[in-house]
Amino acid sequence: MSGKNVTEVVPAGPEGIAKAARILESGGLVAVPTETVYGLAARADSDEAVARIYAAKGRPDFNPLIVHVTGLAQAEAYAEFSSEARALAQAYWPGPLTLVLPRRTDAALAEAVTAGLPTIALRAPAHPAMRALLGAVDFPLAAPSANRSGFISPTCADHVLASLDGRIDMVLDGGATMAGLESTIVAVRADGSVEELRPGPLQIASRAAGGAIEAPGQLASHYAPGKPVRLGVTLADKDEFMIGFGPVVGDVTLSAHGDLDEAAARLYACLHEAARAHHPRIAVAPVPEEGVGRAINDRLRRAAA
Ligand code: AMP
Ligand code: MG
């Protein structure tokens, strides 16, 4: 299915959802809007379908996928939920929080979804299109960001086509995403402690020590626009495309008012524009390391690495 070279873009209305569900049932790939970024969805219970995600993205096979579910009831079929994990799911689902939990030994999912790990990453997304799609099928959806591995994450249908046109079956077009940054990922340990593995739109306090890199996909270089990126810049060089913030004016701005939520929502669109610009280099204004600014700076550091 996914070897064909036409990628259809269909509005995320009832007909689009029904068509996407049929493609997914037969093992195909559909890019779907979520409240974070567009995800590249395949049925998580099929080895072949999950293998297509890795092939279309050029994603290394040691980088596990997030499994998207309708809610806690479906999630409990795939992971062992401690009372702490259940409380987090009840508090933040549906929403941009991914829980890394012990994978149930009887979880009927493709092995490649968890890249051989004893844990599984689960999330119940809030976006109406993704929720409608999850409700229209009877399996969970594996869905990493809908971009070639290492490239900038997509926050609209055009961004998806920029890197995956001809490599996937369909894009469900639901307009621009809201949060604009990938989900917050936390691991809930057997002792009930919570550890942040990736900062994101939600700020969840970490309650554990230890600094080992455990989210295998959290590579230093990611979100790469394909040219050098300089951070913390207040005055751009002539050959730099400047991404501004607050008082630092640029060719584009993350947020003219210095609003961090707006900056998070606009980050990838600004990086896509900088990647397309004729300038050989990119400069980015300083962004405060507070609230969702932590997640923005995390993505910017990877874009610059
Ligand atoms: P993406 O879907 O592209 O946002 O990437 C999902 C990220 O989730 C990966 O890069 C991993 O770092 C993380 N992840 C998925 N499954 C696990 C897991 N079992 N343990 C730790 N991190 C995980
Ligand atoms: Mg990604």
Backbone φ and ψ for 55, nearest 5 degrees, come out as -70, -45
pLDDT bucket at 2, cuts 50 / 70 / 90: very low
Which atom of ligand 1 sits closest to the CA of residue 145? 3
Question: pLDDT > 90: what percent of the chain?
Answer: 88
Buried b (16+ CB within 10 A) or exposed e, 47-70: eebbbbbbebbebeeebbbbbbbb
Computed over every residue of the chain, the mean pLDDT equals 93
**57 and 191 belong to one structural domain:** yes
Is there a contact between 299 and 181 (Cβ–Cβ < 8 Å)?
yes
* Ligand of minimum distance to the alpha carbon of 68: 1
Helix (H, G, I), strand (E, B) or coil at 189: coil
Give distance in angstroms: CA of 289 to centre of ligand 2: 22
CA 8, CA 226: separation in Å to the nearest integer? 26
Pocket of ligand 1 contains residue 44 by CB under 6 Å: no
**66 and 201 belong to one structural domain:** yes
Is there a contact between 185 and 215 (Cβ–Cβ < 8 Å)?
yes
Range of the domain at 135: 8-208
* Ligand of minimum distance to the alpha carbon of 62: 1
- What's the pLDDT at 211? 43
What is the tens place of the pLDDT at every residue in 152-186? 999 999 999 999 999 999 999 999 999 999 999 99
Q: Is residue 218, in this structure, part of any structural domain at all?
A: no
**295 and 172 belong to one structural domain:** no
Cα end-to-end distance, the chain, whole Å: 35
- Residue tagged 């932590």 (tokens): 294
Which atom of ligand 1 sits closest to the CA of residue 214? 21
Q: Is residue 157, in this structure, part of any structural domain at all?
A: yes
**Domain stops at, among 145, 174, 208:** 208
**103 and 242 belong to one structural domain:** no
Q: Is residue 57, in this structure, part of any structural domain at all?
A: yes
Give distance in angstroms: CA of 181 to centre of ligand 2: 10
Give distance in angstroms: CA of 58 to centre of ligand 1: 16
Tell which wins on pLDDT, 191 or 183. 183
Question: For the chain, what is the domain count?
Answer: 2
Q: Is residue 66, in this structure, part of any structural domain at all?
A: yes
- What's the pLDDT at 3? 47
Question: pLDDT > 70: what percent of the chain?
Answer: 93
Q: Is residue 215, in this structure, part of any structural domain at all?
A: no
- What's the pLDDT at 217? 52
Pocket of ligand 1 contains residue 109 by CB under 6 Å: no
CATH of the domain at 58: 3.90.870.10
Q: Which pTM was predicted?
A: 0.91
**16 and 105 belong to one structural domain:** yes
Give distance in angstroms: CA of 65 to centre of ligand 1: 5
Which residue's CA is the nearest one to ligand 1's atom 10? Answer: 217
**126 and 183 belong to one structural domain:** yes
* Ligand of minimum distance to the alpha carbon of 215: 1
What is the tens place of the pLDDT at every residue in 21-80? 999 999 999 999 999 999 999 999 999 999 999 999 999 999 999 999 999 999 999 999
Tell which wins on pLDDT, 83 or 204. 83
Give distance in angstroms: CA of 238 to centre of ligand 1: 38
What is the tens place of the pLDDT at every residue in 241-264? 999 999 999 999 999 999 999 999
**148 and 24 belong to one structural domain:** yes
- Residue tagged 């509005």 (tokens): 11
Q: Is residue 223, in this structure, part of any structural domain at all?
A: no
Pocket of ligand 1 contains residue 121 by CB under 6 Å: yes
**254 and 161 belong to one structural domain:** no
**256 and 167 belong to one structural domain:** no
**135 and 280 belong to one structural domain:** no
What is the tens place of the pLDDT at every residue in 196-234? 999 999 988 754 444 444 555 555 667 789 999 999 999
Q: Is residue 204, in this structure, part of any structural domain at all?
A: yes
Tell which wins on pLDDT, 283 or 213. 283
192 pLDDT higher than 90: no
Q: Is residue 258, in this structure, part of any structural domain at all?
A: yes
**52 and 115 belong to one structural domain:** yes
Is there a contact between 216 and 300 (Cβ–Cβ < 8 Å)?
no
What is the tens place of the pLDDT at every residue in 267-282? 999 999 999 999 999 9
Give distance in angstroms: CA of 110 to centre of ligand 2: 19
**104 and 166 belong to one structural domain:** yes
CA neighbor of 96 nearest in space, from 73, 127, 138: 127
What is the tens place of the pLDDT at every residue in 96-149? 999 999 999 999 999 999 999 999 999 999 999 999 999 999 999 999 999 999
Backbone φ and ψ for 281, nearest 5 degrees, come out as -135, 165
**Domain stops at, among 160, 179, 208:** 208
* Ligand of minimum distance to the alpha carbon of 64: 1
CA neighbor of 242 nearest in space, from 234, 251, 255: 251
- Cα dihedral 94, 97, 101, 104, rounded to 10, equals 30
- What's the pLDDT at 190? 80
Task: Work out the angle between the directed axes of helices 260-276 and 293-304 (0-180°, nearest 10).
Answer: 20
pLDDT bucket at 283, cuts 50 / 70 / 90: very high
Q: Which residues lie below 8 Å from residue 175, measured CB to CB, with a gap of 6+?
A: 33, 156
